[in-house]
Chains A and B, each alone.
Chain A
């Protein structure tokens, strides 16, 4: 399971990577915004994308839209982990095809639950 973690704050990337490692996902890579992430996704064989929303350059929602438009990436499971909590935004993310939405600050348990739910649905 190869996971790409996208967040502009290195500490948040580190927190997410640590939590993922505790959940048994050790193969993770990082990107600091959508512009860096998209080429990595297109050239690498990632199985899962965890992205923030609010980032300089390309935002998480734009990255999600690009992923869904890409023939090879469109089925990639995407979990959004973000401080963006407006209802409009959550609805927009759902419409853009997000697989899960976690708002910051979050707990390890919530992250675990959402990731497990995504893979249940993807596998099932």
Chain B
């Protein structure tokens, strides 16, 4: 649906209207009542024709939009843009949760390994210092060499395990790429849906103009519910640009200390 087309037909309609209006005034001044009534009928006819045309446009645009939204009831909801957005966002939640859990699993696995290395190394170090200070008997030294040899073996396998855990943690970050792509797709889809809706609203506006329909402002009860102070809103996306928002922990601490905390 070409927007220019609607605009020009609307302009023509307005132009015709004002032309005929001045002609009507002229006829009335000349007491040509029959001519004036004829003119009004002409105007009515033009308005009706334009109206039918606009409604036709609107119907066609609605139809196209429905087709584009893939909201066809025959498909029983499956495959629509909205469904795709739903699925995409669920996928994002799922992927991020999976990555977080994978990372935490690997951290949980790794911490005892590095703790074991650290503890054993510090104990062996103490023994080693005793040996260097010649405070160790030959028997103790033999035990120490065995201990060191076990430690080196263990450290070797522990660090290998640590390395593989670290690479798995690294790999788990691939969610950023995958979820990023899905989010970008949904963002462009929303932009698309928005522009189509704006078009529809513009067209409906022309019909309203010709029929003289005026709409009441929508009431705000629903936004009032949204403003319930108990409900959270989630992360602030542009905290730094917003004075009503604490952009970091220091801001929070300052605010709380100003309240006597």
**Using a CB–CB distance below 8 Å, which chain A residues touch chain B?**
9-11, 14-15, 18, 53-55, 59-62, 82-92, 94, 101-104, 106, 110
Contact = CB atoms under 8 A, between A and B. Distances in A.
Contacts of B96: 11
Interface of B: 96-97, 100-101, 104, 107-108, 229-236, 239, 244-249, 251-252, 255-256, 259, 261
Contacts of B101: 10-11, 14
A10 B96 CA distance: 11
B97 A89 contact: no
B235 A83 contact: yes
Contact of A85 (B100, B231, B246): B246
Contacts of A89: 229, 232
Contacts of B256: 90, 94, 101
B232 A53 contact: yes
A35 B97 CA distance: 23
Contact of B245 (A10, A15, A87, A92): A87
Contacts of B233: 54, 84, 86
A15 B104 contact: yes
18 contacts: A9-B97, A10-B101, A14-B100, A15-B104, A54-B232, A59-B232, A83-B235, A83-B236, A84-B233, A85-B247, A86-B233, A88-B244, A90-B256, A92-B229, A94-B261, A101-B252, A102-B249, A102-B252
A11 B97 contact: yes
A19 to B, nearest CB: 11
Contacts, number: 80
A94 B104 contact: no
B247 A91 contact: no
A60 B232 contact: yes
Contacts of A86: 233, 236, 244-246
A103 B249 CA distance: 6
B104 A85 contact: no
Contacts of B236: 83, 85-86
B259 A88 contact: no
A90 B255 contact: yes
B100 A11 contact: yes
Contacts of B259: 91, 94
Given A85-B252, A88-B244, A59 B231 contact: yes
Contacts of A60: 232
B252 A90 contact: yes
User: B245, B249, B251 — which one has the most chain A CB atoms within 10 A of its CB?
Assistant: B249
Nearest to A59: B230
Contacts of B104: 11, 14-15, 18
Contacts of A62: 230
A85 B239 contact: yes
A61 to B, nearest CB: 5
